[in-house]
């Protein structure tokens, strides 16, 4: 312990703490903190101020931070949604636009295909390895895109999922292809080059075993008992899973980040992301400790001496910047139909960011002799420039005040429409109701539901909604004829097939074998509900009677008498419950031994009386 030098680590964490604080203090929102951390790392590195040196312990922690970043990237991907959304038959343009995974695949291979002619274009002016540059251009900096998407709250949305998957596909494919290509150049083609396939077998095997074990009641009980104890069993198991796949990647002599990504993707199959406290803990451990070290040390380790031939590289740098932009933005414009032009352009611009993998690939090329030092300098400086420019342009193009957009449009102002809109709101799904009955407006307003009132729902009204490919349209007007006309117009004139309508309102053409429209038969729904009332009357009555009465509410603790008390010491209402507790940016699930502090925000659920009691308990009489 006496021989360890903690000074570099101390400086690193001072930078990691101060940078986001200053950016927030001066309200600098367009510059991602990760970029600033890299720049400050350069300034504190050996080529400028020489404050931080790359010691073994800091280097190890930085490498671990990179692994955790890629691991969390894999974890953020909704594997269940990808698997369930695979097209069952022929892949059509409609399927491509609806499916986040297929969109991401199209963008990556579009970028890869465009890279070949662009690399050939570069070869007209300078002698380069065309194939190597064609592999270099599509690389994406997950280390930059993921934190930015996470900070904007995009990772849980379809746009963020497409961006994340494209980055993940580009990362994995680039690692595989560059590794195989470098191996062929060094030793010729060998069977050992295909060993990376073993990681797919490990993924499948661990998934099957994990699925079997997770179903065991005894295993579930043990996990529950030890989750909040000092052992933190889920965190330990997660890190063990990460290290297992990293070890496999090491043994088969491929990039370790491939193992980290597959470990995260595997865990995402077992975690309920919206409810799991495991994700909060992983975020705290990774973004609070390991990941900042990685970003800062990227700057510290950047070899500025490689830029000594910078002047010779200026035309090459400009060409590379154009290559990064053209090969990434053009394929990303396919998202136009799904998210709109501005959002699609913003996504393509952000995907232009290049950093660790691009620089690492350039180093591989330098070692193989397929690029020289001047070209390596050009790749390094162009990666830094594009990583500074693209997030700034993304922030400008992806402003939050862009036109308001909804995921679901409900046509019709029936009682069923109100109930449906309220339930969608409970699930956090953005929906807009088009209402044509004035007497229902007060109820929409009382429940704070999004709606537009029109005298008559017409084709002109629907055309003005800016319905996108991924949006769902629900047709629930009182008139069977109007339902049929609207559904036909949306399908045939707007060429939109993501529709739910009443079966009683459909004609043979709409309900034919080639139709993608989903229909609900209210006679079947009514019969099913009556059956449930007969078979399980208590459960159905409880659910239907309590839904409208129960609400979620966030309350800040202001009563001094509550400070430092445990949850189990309070007399809480029996018709309510504590759901989430937030403190200093941390979110966790309260239990009996959880202490409550002044300023904590508590999300509670209950009926009107229970919510009043919660307010009285936590806030006092106001």
pLDDT band at 403 (very low <50, low <70, confident <90, very high): very low
Task: Tell me the pLDDT tens digit for each residue of 525-583.
Answer: 666 666 666 665 655 555 555 555 566 778 888 888 888 888 877 877 776 778 788 87
Summarised one tens digit per residue, pLDDT across range 119-129 is 888 888 777 77
pLDDT given at position 47: 79
Averaged over 26-50, what is the pLDDT?
A: 80
Contact 378, 165 (CB under 8 A): no
Strands of 518-520's sheet in order across? 451-453, 431-435, 408-411, 472-475, 499-502, 518-520
Nearest-angstrom CA–CA distance, 165 and 183: 27
Helical (H) or strand (E) element with 129: none
Inter-CA distances, 110 with 44, 209, 334, Å: 39, 36, 10
Selection from 377, 384, 371 nearest residue 130 by Cα? 371
Q: Is 387 exposed, middle or buried (0-12, 13-18, 19+ CB in 10 A)?
A: buried
Residues 608 and 546: beta-carbon distance below 8 Å: no
pLDDT at 81 (0 to 100): 61
**CA–CA distance, 270 with 449 (Å, rounded to integer):** 34
pLDDT value for 614 = 85
Number of Cβ within a 10 Å radius of residue 31: 14
Residues 331 and 112: beta-carbon distance below 8 Å: no
pLDDT at res. 340? 80
The predicted model scores a pTM of 0.59
SS3 327: helix
Torsion of CA 483, 484, 486, 492, to 10 degrees: 160
Residue 137 in this model has a pLDDT that exceeds 90: no
Q: What angle do CA 525, 546, 520 make, to 5 degrees?
A: 15
Nearest to 614 by CA among 563, 562, 564, 566: 562
Are 489 and 461 in contact, with CB atoms under 8 Å apart? Answer: no
Q: Tell how far CA 310 is from the center of its chain.
A: 37
Please state, in angstroms and as integers, the Cα–Cα distance from residue 127 to each residue in 158, 348, 370, 463, following that order.
42, 29, 10, 54
User: The tokens of 285 are what?
Assistant: 């451990």
Asked whether the predicted pLDDT for residue 23 surpasses 80, the reply is yes
Task: Confirm if 386 and 321 have CB atoms less than 8 A apart.
Answer: yes
Integer Cα distance of 117 and 604 in angstroms: 58
Instruction: Report pLDDT digits (tens) over 432-471.
Output: 888 888 888 888 888 888 888 888 888 888 877 878 777 8
H-helix segments, 99-141? 100-123, 130-136
pLDDT in tens, 577-598: 787 888 766 677 787 778 888 8
Is-contact 432 451, C-beta < 8 A? yes
């Amino acid at each position: 312990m006496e021989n360890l030098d903690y000074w570099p680590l101390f400086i690193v964490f001072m930078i990691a703490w101060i940078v986001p604080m200053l950016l927030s203090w001066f309200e600098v929102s367009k510059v991602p903190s990760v970029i600033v951390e890299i720049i400050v790392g350069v300034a504190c590195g050996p080529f400028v101020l020489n404050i931080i040196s790359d010691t073994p312990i800091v280097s190890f922690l930085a490498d671990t931070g990179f692994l955790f970043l890629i691991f969390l990237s894999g974890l953020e991907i909704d594997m269940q949604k990808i698997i369930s959304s695979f097209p069952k038959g022929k892949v059509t343009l409609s399927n491509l636009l609806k499916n986040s995974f297929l969109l991401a695949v199209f963008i990556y291979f579009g970028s890869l295909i465009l890279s070949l002619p662009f690399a050939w274009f570069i070869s007209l002016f300078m002698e380069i390895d065309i194939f190597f540059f064609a592999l270099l251009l599509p690389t994406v900096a997950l280390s930059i895109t993921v934190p930015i998407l996470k900070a904007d709250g995009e990772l849980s949305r379809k746009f963020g999922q497409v961006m994340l998957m494209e980055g993940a596909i580009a990362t994995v494919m680039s690692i595989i292809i560059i590794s195989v290509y470098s191996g062929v150049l060094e030793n010729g083609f060998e069977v050992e080059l295909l060993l990376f396939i073993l990681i797919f077998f490990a993924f499948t095997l661990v998934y099957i075993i994990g699925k079997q074990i997770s179903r065991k009641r005894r295993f579930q009980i043990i996990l529950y008992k030890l989750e909040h104890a000092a052992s933190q069993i889920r965190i330990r198991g997660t890190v063990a899973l990460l290290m297992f796949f990293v070890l496999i990647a090491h043994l088969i002599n491929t990039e370790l980040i491939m193992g980290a990504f597959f470990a995260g993707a595997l865990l995402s199959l077992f975690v309920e992301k919206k409810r799991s406290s495991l994700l909060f803990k992983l975020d705290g451990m990774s973004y609070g400790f390991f990941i900042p070290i990685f970003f800062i040390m990227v700057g510290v380790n950047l070899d500025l001496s490689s830029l000594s031939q910078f002047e010779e590289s200026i035309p090459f740098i400009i060409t590379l910047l154009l290559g990064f932009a053209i090969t990434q933005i053009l394929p990303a414009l396919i998202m136009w139909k799904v998210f709109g032009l501005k959002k699609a352009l913003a996504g393509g611009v952000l995907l232009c960011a290049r950093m660790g993998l691009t620089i690492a690939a350039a180093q591989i090329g330098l070692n193989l002799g397929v690029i020289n030092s001047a070209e390596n300098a050009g790749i390094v400086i162009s990666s830094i420039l594009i990583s500074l420019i693209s997030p700034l342009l993304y922030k400008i193009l992806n402003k939050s005040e862009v036109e308001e957009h909804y995921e679901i449009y409900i046509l019709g102002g029936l009682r069923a429409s109100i109930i449906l809109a309220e339930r969608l709101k409970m699930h956090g799904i953005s929906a807009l109701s088009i209402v044509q009955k004035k007497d229902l407006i007060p109820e929409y307003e009382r429940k704070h539901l999004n709606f537009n009132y029109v005298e008559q729902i017409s084709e002109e009204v629907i055309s003005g909604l800016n319905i996108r490919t991924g949006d769902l349209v629900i047709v629930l007007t009182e008139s069977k004829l109007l339902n049929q006309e609207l559904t036909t117009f949306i399908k045939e004139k707007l060429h939109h097939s993501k529709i739910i309508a009443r079966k009683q309102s459909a004609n043979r053409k709409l309900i034919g074998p080639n139709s993608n429209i989903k229909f609900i038969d209210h006679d079947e729904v009514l019969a099913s509900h009556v059956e449930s009332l007969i078979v399980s009357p208590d459960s159905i009555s409880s659910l239907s009677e309590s839904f409208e009465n129960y609400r979620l509410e966030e309350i800040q603790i202001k009563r001094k008498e509550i400070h430092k008390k445990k949850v189990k010491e309070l007399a809480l209402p029996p018709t309510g419950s504590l759901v989430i507790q937030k403190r200093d940016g941390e979110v966790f699930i309260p239990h009996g031994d959880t202490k409550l502090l002044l300023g904590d925000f508590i999300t509670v659920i209950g009926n009107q009386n229970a919510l009043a009691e919660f307010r009285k308990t936590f806030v006092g009489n106001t």
